[in-house]
Structure formats: structure tokens, C-alpha cells
């Protein structure tokens, strides 16, 4: 199999935990050709979407851990699989990339996750398709509505719709003296919509990341537990990761979302669940593969590669 991976520069990856690294290493172990490129290496010429890509060789014990061949220009549909693993933000360049990838799809390229899904499934707003699984939620840019929501629920979480890694998330209680400042900042003075959710106390037991591969859940989740009084469990925000088996409720959520993810073209997703509640559906570059694999007998990267191999028969 000839695999192209669109991602951030290799020198920025933390290979002890990076999920894209784990997928590429597993692909190499299985004898596949791995090529890498950044967004800026995509272009369209003569109605064909091309990539200035580099063949990758991984040597985990070496410094640096990667060796790259010179750039070669390849029509994107000449790869068996194209993996879009660029981290957010979903800025204009990311948007343009999804359009190019969608054009490549029309000429036969197999892109995972599908460009349309990457563009249209906001990782915060997507949960609204499953009201039976979410805590009370408000989406608005209006401070008066956020104030009323806080008065109703007394303890809420406020977060931007485009953040990642726990950035920009605030826990706000009824007596918060900085309420106006927080809301003005998050909503950009009432011009940008944010999400407010009732605070879920079960965050103390962890914000669980459930990985979905080709519509099926990995049997273990990574519970990211807040530390030091910080309400966020995200590992990037200092949370502690603990691997645990999926609960009955986790499996119920996964079973409900699996067909939806497949229908919308999401091959690899990360569901975030706190207690009994679905809080996010991560589709851009879901992480936590390595943490789960290192603590269990489940090689998640191998699961991903098996599913990709099945996609091309």
C-alpha cells in the first residue's frame, strides 16, 4: 500500500505520544510505503490535484528519528490512501486544503477522514445531533443568554467552538466576579458564538477519549483526569491519563454514533465522554492511540492499519 500522510512538520511531533507517528510507524512495519507532506505541498495543475511529497523512513532510536527522500510530484489519486492528520486550527488554509482534497476524491483519491466531514463537522457542535447523550447546552454569542444559562444551572463550562487541547475553556459559577470579562473575551464582545454546557461533576473521574475506527470503538478509553484544581482533563492542559475499559454507557454512545460516523465519512474519530455525557466528537486528528496501546494489549495503530487495508481490499 502506498500511503500519504498530510500533517504538521515532523520535527514538531512528540513521538512518545503522537498518534500520527504511531500510525506511520505501524504502516512501515507492515511493509507499506509512507509519504509525508504539509498542506502547502498540495496544488492543482491541469485539473489534477498533486502533492510534492517525500518518502519517509522511520528509525525510532535514531536522532532525528526520520529520514526523508527528496520531494517528488505525485498525483494524489496515485496513492492508495491519503490520511489528513493536520492539527487545528481550522483556518482558511485548512479550509482550502479540504477543497483540494475533495477535488482529488472526485478523481479517485481515497481520503480519510473525508474532506467534507472535516470541513462541516465542527467538533463541538456535532454533539447536537445526539441530544439524548448531551448535558444541557447553549450556543450563542449573546452575554444575556449566557448569564441566564448560568443562573439556571449555577455551574457551567464555557468554551470556544474552534479550540483544541482545552484551550480557552472556563468553568464559571454563579458568583464568578470575572463573568463579564470572560464572556466578552470568548465571544469577542458579543460577535462570536461559543458553547455553554452545564458543568458535569464526573469530570473528577476523567474526560474519557473513546477512539472509533471504521465505526467501531476501541475497547479501552483514556480517561484524562484534571490535576491541581484545573477543571480541564486534557493532557495538553496537564491532565493525567488513565486507561480503562469502556463502560456500558460508553458502548451505548459508540454504538449509536458508529453508523453516523461511517455515513459522514469519518474513518477515525475521538469521542469525548464525561460521566454519561458526550461532550465532543473529534474528527480532525484524534489522539491518544499510543497511551491506550502502551497500557493494554490493544495495538490501536495496527487496528487503524487493518481497517485501512480493508478499505482498499
**Segment 59-107, tens digit of pLDDT:** 999 999 999 999 999 999 999 999 999 998 889 999 999 999 999 999 9
Q: What's the pLDDT band for 251 if we cut at 50, 70, 90?
A: very high
Share of the chain above pLDDT 90, in %: 91
Q: Which of 85, 110, 114, 224 is catalytic?
A: 224
Cell of 9: 512538520
Q: Which of 85, 110, 114, 159 is catalytic?
A: 159
Cα(261)–Cα(268) distance, integer angstroms: 9
**3-state secondary structure (DSSP) of residue 282:** strand
* Residue 280 bears catalytic tag: yes
Q: Which of 80, 105, 207, 272 is catalytic?
A: 272
**Residue 42, pLDDT score:** 98
Share of the chain above pLDDT 70, in %: 97
Q: Are 85 and 285 in contact (CB under 8 A)?
A: yes
Q: Which of 85, 86, 110, 232 is catalytic?
A: 232
* Residue 159 bears catalytic tag: yes
* Residue 232 bears catalytic tag: yes
Q: Which of 124, 207, 208, 250 is catalytic?
A: 124
pLDDT higher than 80, residue 178: yes
Q: Which of 26, 250, 280, 291 is catalytic?
A: 280
- Only one residue has cell 472509533, namely 212
Q: Which of 110, 113, 114, 282 is catalytic?
A: 282
Task: Report the mean per-residue pLDDT for the chain.
Answer: 95
* Residue 85 bears catalytic tag: no
* Residue 249 bears catalytic tag: no
Q: What is the pTM of this model?
A: 0.94
Q: Are 39 and 89 in contact (CB under 8 A)?
A: no
Residue 38: is it exposed, middle or buried by C-beta count within 10 angstroms (0-12/13-18/19+)?
middle
Cell of 276: 454519561
What are the start-end ranges of the H helices in 59-203? 92-106, 115-120, 143-153, 179-186
Cα(209)–Cα(225) distance, integer angstroms: 11
Cα(41)–Cα(51) distance, integer angstroms: 6
**Residue 237, pLDDT score:** 61
**Residue 32, pLDDT score:** 98
Cell of 15: 513521538
**Residue 227, pLDDT score:** 82
Cell of 81: 490512501
pLDDT higher than 70, residue 233: no
Q: Which of 85, 198, 208, 209 is catalytic?
A: 209
pLDDT mean over 242-257: 98
Cα(308)–Cα(304) distance, integer angstroms: 6
User: CA angle 282-283-286, nearest 5°?
Assistant: 70
Cell of 248: 456500558
Cell of 51: 502533492
In order of 8, 118, 120, 257, 290, the CA distances from 13 in angstroms are 8, 21, 26, 30, 13
In order of 9, 41, 186, 303, 309, the CA distances from 87 in angstroms are 11, 16, 21, 21, 24
Residue whose C-alpha is closest to residue 147's, from 135, 134, 159, 156: 156
Q: What DSSP character marks residue 88?
A: S
Q: Long-range pairs for 263-267 at CB < 8 Å and ≥24 separation? A: 264/114, 264/116, 264/117, 264/121, 265/113, 265/114, 265/116, 265/117, 266/113, 266/114, 266/117, 266/121, 266/212, 267/112, 267/113, 267/114, 267/213, 267/214, 267/307, 267/308, 267/311
Phi, psi of 196 (to 5 degrees): -120, 135
**Residue 226, pLDDT score:** 85
Residue whose C-alpha is closest to residue 210's, from 136, 154, 159, 271: 271
Amino acid at each position: 500500500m502506498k500511503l500519504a500522510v498530510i500533517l504538521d512538520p515532523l520535527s514538531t511531533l512528540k513521538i512518545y505520544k503522537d498518534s500520527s507517528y504511531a500510525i506511520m510507524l505501524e504502516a512501515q512495519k507492515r511493509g507499506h510505503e509512507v509519504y509525508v507532506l504539509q498542506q502547502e505541498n498540495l496544488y492543482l495543475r491541469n485539473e489534477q490535484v498533486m502533492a510534492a511529497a517525500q518518502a519517509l523512513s522511520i528509525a525510532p532510536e535514531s536522532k532525528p528519528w526520520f529520514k526523508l527522500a527528496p520531494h517528488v510530484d505525485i498525483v494524489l489519486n496515485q496513492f492508495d490512501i491519503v490520511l489528513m492528520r493536520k492539527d487545528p486550527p481550522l483556518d482558511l488554509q485548512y479550509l482550502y486544503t479540504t477543497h483540494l482534497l475533495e477535488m482529488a476524491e472526485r478523481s479517485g483519491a481515497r481520503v480519510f477522514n473525508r474532506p467534507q466531514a472535516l470541513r462541516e463537522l465542527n467538533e463541538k457542535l456535532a454533539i447536537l445531533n445526539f441530544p439524548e447523550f448531551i448535558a444541557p447546552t447553549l450556543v450563542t454569542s449573546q452575554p444575556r443568554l449566557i448569564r441566564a444559562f448560568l443562573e439556571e444551572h449555577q455551574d457551567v463550562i464555557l468554551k470556544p467552538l474552534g479550540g483544541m487541547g482545552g484551550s480557552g475553556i472556563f468553568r464559571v459559577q454563579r458568583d464568578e466576579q470575572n463573568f463579564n470579562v470572560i464572556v466578552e473575551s470568548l465571544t469577542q464582545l458579543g460577535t462570536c458564538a461559543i458553547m455553554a454546557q452545564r458543568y458535569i461533576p464526573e469530570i473528577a473521574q476523567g474526560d474519557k477519549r473513546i477512539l472509533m475506527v471504521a465505526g467501531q470503538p476501541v475497547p479501552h478509553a483514556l480517561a484524562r483526569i484534571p490535576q491541581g484544581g484545573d477543571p480541564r482533563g486534557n493532557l495538553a492542559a496537564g491532565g493525567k491519563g488513565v486507561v480503562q475499559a469502556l463502560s456500558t454507557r460508553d458502548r451505548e454512545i459508540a454504538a449509536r454514533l458508529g453508523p453516523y460516523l461511517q455515513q459522514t465519512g469519518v474513518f477515525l474519530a475521538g469521542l469525548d465522554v464525561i460521566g454519561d455525557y458526550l461532550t465532543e466528537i473529534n474528527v480532525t486528528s484524534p489522539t491518544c492511540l499510543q497511551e491506550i496501546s502502551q497500557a493494554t494489549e490493544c495495538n490501536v495503530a495496527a487496528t487503524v492499519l487493518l481497517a485501512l487495508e480493508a478499505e482498499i481490499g
